[in-house]
Amino acid sequence: MADYSRGREPEPDLLANIAEQAIDERITFFETKPWDEAGLTTPKCELHEPSYRSTVERLQNVSDEDLADVTIASIFIGSEVSAQQLERMPQLKLVCTRSTGYNHIDLDACRERNVTACNVPAYAEHTVAEHCFGLMLTLSRKIIMAYERTRRGDFSLDGLTGFDLKGKTLGVVGAGAIGLRVIRIGVAMGMRVLAYDVRPHGLLADVMQFQYAELDDLLAESDVVSLHVPLLPQTRHMINRESLAKMRRGALLINTARGELIDTDALLEALASGHLGGAGLDVIEGEERIGDEAQMAAQNAPREDLAVAVQRYALLHHDNVVITPHMAFYSREALHR
């Protein structure tokens, strides 16, 4: 795990201290899914009593009374760990998110309260990279349109002409653990691969047969752009009207990282104008605030949440947009890592 609240990876002594705390403290698991419960009921290590308690609720939906004695919190991406939520957990020592992304944790607020924050830096690199190419191929070969036609008994090929990925230029924004796996697959498929990263590694580029490029050059030259950067203040809406205008006409945009990397209004405009050839999205902006539309209407959801739902509705009604429900990590192998 990476200890981002302190701005570095934890030293062995820190990990030992965390482990020692975990023995004496009860861990509270939030947002548990069936696979989480299965892991808790059949643990791979000895659990000391009292061991844990769990809830399917997001942290922010749990009562003050139930949060008052939480010392170790295990959360997922829907739980908000803000300064306000930290105030409700005066005993908190450690918060661990069962995800690679950690933008739902206010690291500055954790630092101020001497709360250690950890994530899982690597468990689904191959899994997410494979899903990324699943989205690419679905768009490049118009698989959704073909599937819907054949279900209606229409086996015509009109309008289903796709294109090969071989020989095309793939632009990978963020050459970290996942981005490098995407690069490897792209090279294996015969694609020319460009990568943008704030910390380029020349030796890797030589060995893996890709090139580093400035972001503007990558956008201008790529037939497919795939995003693999964390959500930070400087990366929020990095794909906006200006950057979309720099992309090749007809290019594809793939996002399996974080929804807020893309300005959704700008994306809709680029799709409507035909400048963008298509988008494959495993994440969308504001996804944590929306659920079933009928339930939202019945509960008189906030205006901001309804606005996000309207954007999602608009995206879903583009034939050249494929949206999956933040499931790029979701394979049997990744869940067991």
CB count, 10 Å around CB of 309?
19
Per-residue pLDDT of 267-282, as tens digits, reads: 999 999 999 999 999 9
**Which fold is adopted by the domain 2-119?**
Rossmann fold (3.40.50)
With bands split at pLDDT 50, 70 and 90, how would you rate the model's confidence at 24? low
Q: What percent of the chain has pLDDT over 90?
A: 65
Of the candidates 125, 285, 287, 288, the residue annotated as catalytic is 287
Determine the Cα–Cα distance for residues 15 and 204; give it in Å rounded to an integer. Answer: 30
Give mean pLDDT, residues 272-300: 74
Of the candidates 258, 260, 285, 312, the residue annotated as catalytic is 258
Question: Tokens 């419960």 appear where?
Answer: 37
Contact present, 210 and 237 (Cβ < 8 Å)? no
pLDDT at 34: 79
Per-residue pLDDT of 191-246, as tens digits, reads: 999 999 999 999 999 999 999 999 999 999 999 999 999 999 999 999 999 999 99
pLDDT at 262: 97
Give mean pLDDT, residues 3-16: 42
With bands split at pLDDT 50, 70 and 90, how would you rate the model's confidence at 2? very low
Q: What is the value of pTM for the model shown?
A: 0.79
Span of 37-51, 89-103, 134-148, 293-307 with lowest mean pLDDT: 293-307
Assess whether pLDDT exceeds 70 at residue 103: yes
pLDDT at 63: 92
Assess whether pLDDT exceeds 70 at residue 306: no
pLDDT at 15: 44
Nearest to 97 by CA among 106, 89, 109: 106
pLDDT at 334: 84
pLDDT at 21: 54
Assess whether pLDDT exceeds 90 at residue 47: no
Give mean pLDDT, residues 170-190: 97
Determine the Cα–Cα distance for residues 86 and 115; give it in Å rounded to an integer. Answer: 9
HEC readout, 77-98: CCCCECHHHHHCCCCCCEEEEC
The residue among 120 and 14 whose pLDDT is bigger is: 120
Per-residue pLDDT of 251-272, as tens digits, reads: 999 999 999 999 999 999 999 9
What DSSP designation does 61 have? G
Output the CATH code of domain 125-335: 3.40.50.720
Give mean pLDDT, residues 31-37: 78
Give mean pLDDT, residues 123-134: 94
Per-residue pLDDT of 136-179, as tens digits, reads: 999 999 999 999 999 999 999 999 999 999 999 999 999 999 99
Give mean pLDDT, residues 318-329: 93
Give mean pLDDT, residues 103-124: 89
The CA-to-CA distance between both ends of the chain, in Å, stands at 13
Mean per-residue pLDDT over the chain, rounded: 86
Span of 221-225, 252-256, 303-307, 316-320 with lowest mean pLDDT: 303-307
With bands split at pLDDT 50, 70 and 90, how would you rate the model's confidence at 3? very low
- What residues does each domain of the chain span? 2-119, 125-335
Taking every pair of Cα atoms in the chain, the longest distance, rounded to a whole number of angstroms, is: 66
Q: Which two tokens stand for residue 105?
A: 């944790």
Catalytic: 326? yes
* Identical fold, 2-119 and 125-335: yes
Catalytic: 258? yes
